[in-house]
C-alpha cells in the first residue's frame, strides 16, 4: 500500500461532548469541574467494515463516577464516490460495553456505592473529514444510539460506622439509556 494511504486505516478519536455537557451541568449546580476522557481507536478491515475499542476515564459527575471500556464494529454504508473506503460517511455500529460506576452519598459524602454494568446497543453516526477528502488526517464524528445496561453482581456500599443502617446512593444506571457522541479524530 502506498505510504500516503496508510493513515486511512487507523483513527484515534477524542470525545468532545462529554466534557462539555458534564461541565456545563456541574457549573449550573455548583459542583465544580470534571474532566471525563473518552478515547477510541478504530481499525479499518476493508472498504466498509472496521473494528474499534474505546476507554472511558474519569467519566460522570463529581459524586457519580464512571470508567470502562467498549468494543464495537462499524459498517459504513457508502460504497462508491470519492470517499468510499476511507472510514467516512454514515455508519451503524453494534457496541458491547463495560462500566465500573461509583456514587458518593450527596448529604455527607461518607458513603460510597460501587457497582459494575454491562451494556449492549447500537449507534448510528456520521464521520466526515475535516478538510479535503482523501488527504485530510482530521475527522469529525457524531453518533447517537441506545444501549441497554445490566447490573453485574450486587452493588457494594462502604457503610459509615457512625450511621448504622445507611444504604448509600442507588446506582440506577440500568435499562435502556440514550448515548450521544461528538468527537474529533486523527487518521494514522
Helix (H) or strand (E) holding 157: strand 138-158
pLDDT at 149: 92
pTM above 0.85?
no
The percentage of residues in the chain with a pLDDT greater than 90, rounded to a whole number, is 38
Bridge-partner residues for 76, per DSSP?
91
- DSSP string of 25-85, one letter each residue: HHHHTT------EEEEEEEE-SSSEEEEEEEEEEEE-SSEEEEEEEEEEEEE---SSTTTT
167 vs 92: CA distance, rounded Å? 41
**Is the model's pLDDT at 6 over the cut of 50?**
no
Grid cell digits, residue 153:
453482581
Mean pLDDT of 69-92: 84
25 vs 22: CA distance, rounded Å? 5
Mean pLDDT of 101-112: 63
- For 24, residues 6+ apart whose C-beta sits below 8 A from its C-beta are none
124 vs 138: CA distance, rounded Å? 20
**Distance, CA of 185 to chain centre:** 14
75 vs 50: CA distance, rounded Å? 7
The residue among 168 and 157 whose pLDDT is bigger is: 157
pLDDT at 141: 96
Range of the domain at 100: 3-187
The residue among 110 and 8 whose pLDDT is bigger is: 8
**Is the model's pLDDT at 36 over the cut of 90?**
no
CATH number where 138 lies = 2.40.160.20
- If pLDDT is split at 50, 70 and 90, which confidence band does 21 have? confident
**Number of domains within the chain:** 1
pLDDT at 162: 57
pLDDT at 156: 78
The residue among 62 and 124 whose pLDDT is bigger is: 124
**Is the model's pLDDT at 104 over the cut of 90?**
no
Judged by DSSP in three states, 104 sits in strand
pLDDT at 170: 55
Amino acid at each position: 500500500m502506498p505510504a500516503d494511504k496508510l493513515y486511512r486505516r487507523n483513527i484515534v478519536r477524542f470525545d468532545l461532548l462529554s466534557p462539555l455537557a458534564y461541565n456545563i451541568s456541574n457549573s449550573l449546580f455548583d459542583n465544580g469541574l470534571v474532566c471525563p476522557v473518552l478515547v477510541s481507536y478504530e481499525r479499518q478491515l476493508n472498504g466498509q467494515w472496521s473494528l474499534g475499542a474505546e476507554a472511558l476515564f474519569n467519566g460522570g459527575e463529581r459524586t457519580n463516577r464512571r470508567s470502562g471500556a467498549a468494543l464495537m464494529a462499524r459498517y459504513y454504508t457508502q460504497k462508491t464516490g470519492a470517499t468510499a473506503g476511507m472510514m467516512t460517511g454514515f455508519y451503524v455500529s453494534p457496541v458491547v460495553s463495560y462500566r465500573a460506576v461509583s456514587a458518593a452519598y450527596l448529604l455527607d459524602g461518607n458513603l460510597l456505592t460501587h457497582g459494575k454494568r454491562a451494556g449492549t446497543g447500537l449507534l448510528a453516526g456520521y464521520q466526515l473529514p475535516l478538510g479535503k477528502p482523501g488527504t485530510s488526517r482530521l475527522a469529525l464524528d457524531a453518533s447517537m444510539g441506545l444501549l441497554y445496561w445490566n447490573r453485574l453482581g450486587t452493588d457494594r456500599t462502604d457503610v459509615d460506622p457512625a450511621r448504622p443502617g445507611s444504604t448509600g446512593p442507588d446506582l440506577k444506571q440500568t435499562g435502556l439509556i440514550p448515548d450521544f457522541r461528538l468527537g474529533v479524530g486523527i487518521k494514522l
